[in-house]
Amino acid sequence: MSASEENTVSGFIRTKRGATTYYLRTDLNEKFISAPESLFSAPVVGKVRGRKEHKLISAAGEKFVLRHYQHGGILRFFTRDLYLTASRFLQELAVSSYALSQAIPTPEIAALRIKRTLLGYKADILSRHIADSADLQKLLREDSREIARARKREIIDNCAKLIRRMHDAGILHADLHAKNILLSFSGSLIQLYILDLDRAKILKSLSLRQRLKNLFRLGRSLDKISDAGIITERDKYRFFLKYLKADEALPINKRAVVAQFARHRKIHSIWRRITRGSISRQRTNIDG
């Protein structure tokens, strides 16, 4: 079927070409409805590095990041880019659209391509490129870290407010770490975005346990780049308190939750010292 069908996700038009299904945002559908594949095969003009390297393409006067879906972890050695169903791709499309409808900044998804094969499904996703930007890990580690140092309090406060808004909207991020928070610079303004809503969920409400799990994951990712010497333990507590106080106060025992946060930080600090010592001994044995 080659005709456009009814929207399955708000703001997108679903079009089929043989074994390939396309979901195009309405404005792009008008330009590429006759040849949706040409959008995905547009000229490559650069690369964007996250955890993986993605192509940057230029089409319809805009730049888009082209990401190919691939399994992570041990599964990547067996299934690579093959999925049993298309639900994961459509879920990211739905979560992203919902986030934007709730005024939670995330790079807008422009198109999704799903290919049916004999053994399963493969997919690629296009999102609008955010110019003059850097993820939080890069900002803290590379030349731009002086910006982070000078505007640290602003970044911490805005990041806490953004994640709190995301959680209050019922979005549970599947892997919230420093590389999944993007900062865009426009003069004196800093805009934050949430990246990688792959496997994220929309829930009626998030439990305290789910909120803390996300926050602790982010804290551990920052620990891995503590060598940058910018984010301190005090900063992490400031972020946590700002999150608790943002907008309406959470109906919780704040003192007990802060104590829980402190215990997590202490246990994680001990674990990091143990693992670092183990790695250091291994290196010494190898060098010896």
Average pLDDT for the chain: 88
Q: Which of 164, 204, 162, 166 is nearest to 182 (CA)?
A: 162
* Confidence band, pLDDT 50/70/90 cuts, at residue 193: very high
Q: Considering the domain 133-280 in this protein, what is its CATH number?
A: 1.10.510.10
CA-to-CA distance for 269 and 284, rounded, in angstroms?
A: 22
Q: What is the pTM of this model?
A: 0.88
First to last CA, the chain: 67
Domain boundaries, the chain: 4-128, 133-280
Radius of gyration of the chain (CA): 21
Tell me the pLDDT band of 106, cut-offs 50, 70 and 90.
Answer: very high
Give mean pLDDT, residues 8-14: 84
pLDDT in tens, 216-251: 999 999 888 866 678 888 999 999 999 998 877 788
Q: Note the pLDDT tens digit of each residue in 131-168.
A: 999 999 988 887 667 878 888 999 999 999 999 999 99
Residue 277's CB is within 10 A of a number of other CB atoms, namely 10
